[in-house]
């Protein structure tokens, strides 16, 4: 079953962009997923092909018209979830990404200017999704983020290299840090334990580093997941 992505945008020429290379690009070429970028402007209803208008209540910028957006959505709607990139949406999580990747695909609306007429969300059951607490100039890069995260989870895309199960966020923790040769570089060495060949010790070290680094860098993850079991931040087990 192919994961089908439809992106509704004022700039379809931005796609596939980065999604056309590396893992996602190969999977696209192989038909593991499909991508169609459609111009919202094709659904404009006046002769000037207008897609936006000034904000009700006044203020700067322009707002994407709900009638035009609805026509663009209705032309492709087929049961796949309809999402809109928006800083007002729920922050995207790996759990939501997994969910989406297990489905048939997604229809993704990309905003520009001040964003969308709010009425579109209820009228077409559109799910607003944010990629983080900062403002982009448009939803296209956000849509690429969302699709990249989904596509790498599709069967066969990552190969045997990683099931992804130990990766950051999959466990509610950040992943442990990685090292590779050379063993010594600019006076810095790979932690001894990783060279010990003792798999139990290595697993314990990695678990501890996951917990420690998450506490230090992302305390919000610890509270969100009800606290990683066991152990205080342990400088003792940490090798520099």
Annotated binding site: 111, 131-136
Which residue's C-beta sits nearest to ligand SAH?
111
Q: Which of residues 77-106 bind ligand SAH (CB under 6 A)?
A: 85-88
* Residue number with CB closer to ligand SAH (27 or 129): 129
Detail the DSSP E strand segments found in the chain: 3-9, 33-39, 52-53, 63-64, 82-91, 105-109, 126-130, 184-185, 188-189
* Residue number with CB closer to ligand SAH (51 or 110): 110
Please tell me whether residue 116 adopts helix, strand or coil conformation: strand
Binds ligand SAH (CB under 6 A): choice among 36, 42, 67, 114: 114
In the complex, the smallest distance separating the C-beta of residue 6 from ligand SAH, rounded to whole angstroms, is 16
In the complex, the smallest distance separating the C-beta of residue 185 from ligand SAH, rounded to whole angstroms, is 37
Which of 145, 200, 192, 171 shows the shortest CA–CA distance to 15?
A: 145
Find tokens 């090798």 and name the residue.
239
Distance CA 183, CA 173 (A): 27
170 contact partners, CB below 8 Å, separation of at least 6: 94, 164
Binds ligand SAH (CB under 6 A): choice among 110, 149, 150, 173: 110
* Residue number with CB closer to ligand SAH (105 or 139): 139
In the complex, the smallest distance separating the C-beta of residue 136 from ligand SAH, rounded to whole angstroms, is 4
If one asks whether residue 227 binds ligand SAH (CB under 6 A), the answer comes out as no
Pairing of strands 188-189, 63-64: unpaired
Binds ligand SAH (CB under 6 A): choice among 1, 56, 135, 236: 135
Distance CA 142, CA 18 (A): 12
Name the helix (H) or strand (E) containing 200.
helix 199-217
Structure tokens at 228: 């990683």
If one asks whether residue 111 binds ligand SAH (CB under 6 A), the answer comes out as yes
Neighbours of 51 (CB within 10 A): 23
Binds ligand SAH (CB under 6 A): choice among 43, 96, 101, 142: 142
Binds ligand SAH (CB under 6 A): choice among 6, 40, 73, 115: 115
Contact residues toward ligand SAH (CB under 6 A) are: 85-88, 110-112, 114-115, 130-132, 134-136, 138-139, 142
């Amino acid at each position: 079953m192919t994961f089908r992505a439809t992106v509704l945008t004022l700039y379809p020429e931005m796609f596939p962009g980065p999604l056309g290379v590396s893992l996602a690009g190969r999977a696209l070429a192989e038909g593991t997923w499909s991508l169609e970028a459609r111009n919202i402007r094709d659904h404009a209803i006046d002769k000037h092909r207008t897609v936006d208008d000034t904000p009700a209540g006044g203020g700067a910028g322009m707002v994407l018209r709900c009638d035009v957006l609805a026509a663009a959505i209705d032309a492709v709607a087929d049961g796949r979830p309809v999402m809109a990139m928006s800083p007002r949406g729920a922050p995207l999580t790996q759990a939501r990404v997994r969910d989406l990747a297990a489905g048939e695909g997604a229809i993704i609306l990309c905003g520009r200017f001040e964003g969308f007429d709010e009425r579109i969300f209820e009228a077409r059951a559109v799910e607003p999704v944010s990629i983080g607490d900062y403002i982009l100039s448009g939803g296209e890069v956000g849509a690429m983020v969302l699709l990249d995260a989904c596509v790498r989870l599709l069967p066969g895309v990552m190969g045997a290299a990683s099931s992804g199960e130990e990766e950051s966020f999959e466990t509610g923790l950040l992943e442990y840090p990685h090292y590779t040769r050379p063993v010594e570089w600019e006076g810095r060495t790979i932690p001894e334990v990783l060279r010990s060949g003792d798999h139990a010790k290595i697993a314990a070290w990695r678990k501890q580093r996951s917990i420690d680094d998450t506490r230090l860098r992302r305390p919000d993850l610890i509270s969100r997941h009800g606290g990683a079991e066991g152990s205080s931040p342990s400088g003792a087990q940490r090798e520099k």
